[in-house]
Amino acid sequence: MRPKAVSTNPPNVSDNPDKRSYAVGGEKLSAPSSAPGLYLVATPIGNLGDITLRALETLAGVDVIACEDTRITRRLTERYAITAQLKPYHEHNAAEMRPKILERLAQGAAIALVSDAGTPLISDPGFKLVREACAAGHRVTALPGPSSVLAALSVAALPTDRFFFEGFLPPKQAARRTRLTELSRLDATLVLFESGSRVQDTLADLAAIMGGRSAAVCREMTKLHEEISRGTLADLAQSADTLETRGEFVLVIGPTPEGAQAMTADEIDALLRDRLKRDSVKDAVAHAVEVSGRPRREIYARALELAKDKHGES
C-alpha cells in the first residue's frame, strides 16, 4: 500500500475551521490569535470600507468583541467574515458587564472594545473599563482609526491648531445656553455632537451667543448623503429651517475672530453708536457681532440701551 502523501504547505484557512480569519475583497486571510489584553479598536463612522487591516486582524483574532449594539457591530463582522463572539457593553449594562470582562482578562482572554462608530471612549462608554483594566495590570492597546471629530475638523476649513471637544450639549435650552456661554470664553475651535431633532435649536442658540464666528455643520460623515455646510453661525442658523435633519451631526465652530479680544466695551459702544445713526438695531447688532465676535445677546442688550439713550436725548 502506498503511503499517504504529506503536504509541506500550510493548510488553507478554509480547511481548518478552528483557525481565525477575516475576508477582504473575497479573499480569506488568516489572523493570529491576539495576545491577552484589552484592545480599543476604532471602527467606521459610516462607510464600512474605512477600517484598517490591523483592526480586522485584531477583531478576527480576539476571543470576544465587547460592543455597544451587537446588531450594528454584526454588520461589520459579517461584511468581513469575522466570527468572533459579540457581547454587549453599553452605559446601561456596564456596571454588570465590567467585572465579567475583567475576570475574562484575568483568565488570559483577548477582548476587543468597539463603539457603534468611531474611536472607543470618545463620547462612548469604556473609560471605567480601561481604568480598571490598567489598574489590574492588564495590557491595553489602542488601534487608531476613524473619528468623526477629526473627520469634521479636517473638512470644516477652520483653525485646527487648538480645539476643544465638548460632545453633546444639554438637551434643555436654559442649560444649553449656559454651557455655550462658558464655551464662548475658550480661545479654540469647538467641536460638538448633535442629534437631528435638536440641531436647529442648537444652531439658534449658537448664533445668539457666538453669532460672528465661522462654523461648519457636518451631517452623515462618510455616508452616502454626507453634507457639509459652512458659513457664520448667524447665516447657518438663519437657513437652519431648510436643513435636512435626518442623520447624525458634528458642529465645528471656529474661535473668536482675530482682534476681537482687543475690542473694549467703549470701542463696541462707539461702533454701535456709529451704526445706529444709519442702520436699524438689527443691522447694527449683526455688524457689531461680526466685527467683535462677542455674543449676540450681549451686543443686542447694549444696542437697546444705546438706542434708548439716543431717543431720550432727543
Q: What are phi and psi of 180, to 5 degrees?
A: -65, -35
pLDDT of residue 5: 40
Compute the average pLDDT of residues 152-174.
96
Give the tens place of pLDDT for each residue, 186-219: 989 999 999 999 999 999 999 888 877 999 999 9
Question: pLDDT for 293-305, tens place per residue?
Answer: 678 888 899 999 9
| pLDDT at site 307 | 86
C-alpha cell at 109: 482572554
Q: Are 189 and 215 in contact (CB under 8 A)?
A: no
Write down the pTM of the prediction. Answer: 0.77
Q: Which of 46, 258, 70, 269 is nearest to 152 (CA)?
A: 46
What local confidence, expressed as pLDDT, does residue 311 receive?
58
pLDDT band (50, 70, 90) for residue 260: low
Give percent above pLDDT 90 in the chain.
69
Residue 28 pairs with which residues in a beta bridge?
23
* Pair 112, 20: CB distance under 8 Å: no
- Alpha carbon 177 to chain centroid, angstroms: 20
- Whether residue 54 contacts residue 127, with contact meaning beta carbons closer than 8 Å, is answered with no
